[in-house]
Amino acid sequence: MPSVWDYQDQRVVVSGGGGSGMGAATVRELVQLGAEVHVIDLKEPPVEVAGYHAVDLRDPDAIAGAVTAIGGTIDALFNCAGLPGGRFSDLDTMTVNFASLRHLTDLVVERMRSGGAVASISSAAGASWSANIAKWMPLATCGGFVETVRWLEAHPEEIASGYAPSKEAIMVWTVWRSYELASRGIRINCTAPGPTQTPMMSEFEDQMGKAFMDNYPVPLGKRQTPEEQAHPLIFLNSKAASALTGEVVLTDGGTMGALAVGTLDVSAFGLG
């Protein structure tokens, strides 16, 4: 009998699985576990995979073309691509981080059987999601990519700064979408990493200041690694997580939990 941890011969898709960040770490691990891995990213994957699709995730037709090229039944989707905001426009950030993630998911779940699973990377930057559900439900319930982008264009104030709004939107949509997918036996969850040592970190240092990122308080005592973010994603899409859906898993080394119960307060961030 196969183990609940097994990925042998599973057909999986990883967006953002190129380069050297969390998606790339997820790809390396999935290949080791025997999965048939298909990567969608502008950057090439870190190891040899079954399929690589160089797609700009702002292009919905290119996303659809990649899913058609992958074809067949898909067992698991890992949504790992993302932009950091900052020098990228609010609309581009929301489009890559949310609209394309949702579009890719919609296309891939059509190819899933009961037992399929989706895991997306949100962020601890979206930790206020549950206080903002009413704000994001109109976006979460949009009908498709075009309608989603139209909503984004019509709501510049809601999406101002790009990054945190995109991550809150992923969380609200994940929880909302889980109900309908559950009726088809498909699970969907997301993680919420804190500062993690990937190529994106230099972008956050430019935005927030290097000192802020260096002093960011993490109860576990250090910045996470790409592999430490890949492992929870791989767990969430495995049979071992069969009771989990519509879940937001904080993978931030304890910071947000400590802030919630007051064992850390905002002064720990050194903001004065």
| Measured distance CA(80)–CA(38) in Å, rounded | 13
- Distance, CA of 105 to CA of 192 (rounded, Å): 18
Binding test (CB under 6 A) with ligand NAD, winner from 13, 31, 104, 121: 121
Letters for 213-252 (x = contact with ligand NAD by CB under 6 A, - = none) are -------------x--------------------------
* Shortest distance, position 1 Cβ to ligand NAD, whole Å: 34
Q: Smaller CB distance to ligand NAD: residue 19 or 217?
A: 19
Helix H, strand E, coil C: the string for 126-169 is HCCHHHHHHHHHHHHCCCCHHHHHHHHHHCCCCCCCCHHHHHHH
Among 93, 178, 196, 255, binds ligand NAD (CB under 6 A): 196
Residue 269: partners with Cβ closer than 8 Å, 6 or more residues away = 212, 215, 216, 217
* Interaction between residue 162 and ligand NAD (CB under 6 A): no
**Judged by CB under 6 A, does residue 201 bind ligand NAD?**
yes
Q: Is 195 in the site for ligand NAD (CB under 6 A)?
A: yes
215 and 264 in contact (C-beta within 8 Å)?
Answer: no
How far, in Å, CA of 202 to CA of 88, rounded? 14
Stretch that binds ligand NAD, among 21-29, 68-76, 152-160, 256-264 (CB under 6 A): 21-29
Under the binding rule (CB under 6 A), the answer on residue 123 touching ligand NAD is yes
Place of tokens 């935005």: 207
Number of residues that bind ligand NAD (CB under 6 A): 28
For the chain, the C-alpha Rg in angstroms (whole number) is 18
- Asked if 15 and 101 count as a contact pair (C-beta separation under 8 A), the reply is yes
Stretch that binds ligand NAD, among 3-11, 17-25, 66-74, 179-187 (CB under 6 A): 17-25
Beta strand extents in 28-75 (DSSP E only): 36-40, 51-53
Taking CA atoms, 39 is separated from 2, 50, 145, in Å, by 25, 8, 21
* From candidates 26, 148, 189, 198, binder to ligand NAD by CB under 6 A: 198
Q: Which 58-87 positions form the footprint of ligand NAD (CB under 6 A)?
A: 58, 80-83
Binding map of ligand NAD across residues 26-45, x = CB under 6 A, - = no contact? ---------------xxx--
Least separation, in Å, of the C-beta of 19 and ligand NAD? 4
Local structure of 196: helix, strand or coil: strand
Give residues in contact with ligand NAD (CB under 6 A).
16, 18-19, 21-23, 41-43, 55-58, 80-83, 96, 121, 123, 193, 195-196, 198-201, 226
